Structure 1
Amino acid sequence: MRVCIIYDTKRRSTELFAKWIKEAFEENSAVVDVFKVNEFNGDFSYDLFVVGSPIYYEKPLKSITDFLQKYSDKLSTKKLALFIVCMAQIFGKAGKAYIEKQYLKALESKVENLMFKSAVFKGWIKKVNLKEKKEVFEWVNSLIEKLEGEV
């Protein structure tokens, strides 16, 4: 399986999540390329695209929403997974519901029915939250199971 991870970041936490996602896929024998959104090479021959953004000022980065809109036709024949990195989970269940309604929907609306699976990961301000790496690996494993179930 060939996987392309596309992300943008402001303070590098989303970049670290992209690296963890790559590591998890590679542990499952996938071939993975990672691109910052402005460095994407335009190759749409991958089996799965994983696109991620942090949340700033209540929304995903414009570069990511623009990418999803611009390439929605090319992505329409591909599997697509989205992830966001934000701090709102510190507010418990109410925070999680808010994230899904406000943040994930903002990305998912750009690709409508192209969506394969999405995830929300908890960001940090100063110290890397290594507990999230476990969450990443679990999410990637669920993606792989879903992909294998569709073959």
Structure 2
Amino acid sequence: MKACIIYDTKRGSTTYFVKWIKEGFEEIKADLDVDVKRVNEVENFDYELFVIGSPIYWERPLKTVIDFLSSNGDRLKDRKIAIFVVCMAQLFGRHTESYIKKRYLMPLEEKVSGKLIGSKAFRGWLKKPNYKEKEKVVEWIRYLAAKL
């Protein structure tokens, strides 16, 4: 089985999550061949699973990621899709989860033409990587692997 992690980033924190997702799949699902591409590098859609990620800037996913989903709907329609975002909203209290779902995940989920098997928001950082988030990534990968 083949998977492709597709993402974009501005300052590099999303790249950490992509690396952790790839490592997680390699550990948990050894028979899965995982490629990594930036949204502007994708030419081949010969994958069973696409994991698509974006950081959040100015309260929304990057336009490049939304545009990728919109313009490749036909190519993704028969594929399994997982979506993730990297954001700082987890700092804002008890309504955070519904806010993240509505403002950050839904704009991406609404563009998914394939079978959405999972979506997740991870907490980003401003200066130093938060390696505690890697545990959450591995937990999410276990969840996704069970759906493959």
Report the TM-score range of the alignment, normalised by the length of the smaller protein.
over 0.9
Q: Runs (4+) of structure 1 moved beyond 4 Å?
A: none
Return the TM-score normalized by structure 2. Answer: 0.94
2:147 matched residue in structure 1: 146
1:11 matched residue in structure 2: 11
1:33 matched residue in structure 2: 35
2:115 matched residue in structure 1: 114
Shift of 1:109: 1.2
Residue by residue over 1:3-45, the C-alpha shift from the partner in whole angstroms, topping out at 9 and shown as x without a partner, is: 10000000100111011000001112121100011111x2111
SS of the equivalent of 1:111 reads: coil
Q: Which runs of 5+ in 1 are unaligned?
A: none
Residue by residue over 1:90-149, the C-alpha shift from the partner in whole angstroms, topping out at 9 and shown as x without a partner, is: 1133112101111111111112663221010000011111110000011011000122xx
Percent identity between the two aligned chains = 55
SS of the equivalent of 1:21 reads: helix
Return the TM-score normalized by structure 1. Answer: 0.93
Question: What RMSD, in angstroms, separates the aligned Cα atoms of the two structures?
Answer: 1.1
2:81 matched residue in structure 1: 80
Counterparts of 1:56 and 1:26 in 2: how far apart (Å)? 30
Counterparts of 1:95 and 1:123 in 2: how far apart (Å)? 14
Q: Which runs of 5+ in 2 are unaligned?
A: none
For the 8 Å contact 2:81–2:114, the answer to whether it is kept is no
Counterparts of 1:26 and 1:110 in 2: how far apart (Å)? 28
1:100 matched residue in structure 2: 101
Counterparts of 2:26 and 2:139 in 1: how far apart (Å)? 14
**More helix by proportion, 1 or 2?**
1
Residue by residue over 1:61-85, the C-alpha shift from the partner in whole angstroms, topping out at 9 and shown as x without a partner, is: 0000000001111101000000000
Counterparts of 2:101 and 2:127 in 1: how far apart (Å)? 24
